[in-house]
Amino acid sequence: MKLIIGLGNVGEKYHLTRHNVGFIVLDEIAQKLNIDFKFDSKLESFIAEKRINGEKVIFSKPTTYVNLSGNALSKIMSYYKIEVDDILVIYDDIDLELGKLRVRETNGHGGHNGVKDIIKHLNTKDFKRIRFGIGLDKSMPLDHYVLGKFSKQELETIKPVVIDAMNVVDDFISEQYFKDVMTKYNTNN
């Protein structure tokens, strides 16, 4: 069983904001796979399930807000009995320029409070992740920037990155050797 978790904030107010790239990628996957997310209060998430190549895959959009994502993730892992090796986290990264992607097996939190919370709840920084570059505009406060909506031009810029992220998810689900996945996508970026 695999778990793909995209970080973001729930609500129309946050739709298409930079902090919600995890949700954006999962929404595109849901459309491609023709699956629907349903709210599960005990798991503090919108959950979608799909059997792919004979394996059950859980897709999650936590409702805990980005900075508390670890709580929802740990509940989902416990409920479905999913191991850390079988999770993939998708989140925004201000340290990568807009339109860049980095795939990692381990890393620190890089100042991302949602990832910091996940590390705290899992008691490890060793989990697979997709860091989705949103860049940084230092002329505005950080919270205004990450919670700001993408411009039309920025949405065009991230379209191919969303597709790359979806392809990483496909490779992860099909159990490709993850170091090869990292080489494939990190080299292209």
Question: Quick check: is 109 catalytic?
Answer: no
| Exposure string over 27-42, b if 16+ CB within 10 A, otherwise e | bbbbeeeeeebeebee
Q: How far apart are CA 11 and CA 19, in angstroms?
A: 12
Q: Which of 56, 60, 59 is nearest to 10 (CA)?
A: 60
Other residues' Cβ atoms within 10 Å of the Cβ of residue 7: 32
**E strands, 43-139, in order:** 45-52, 55-62, 87-93, 101-104, 128-133
Q: Which of 19, 112, 121, 144 is catalytic?
A: 19
Catalytic residues: 19
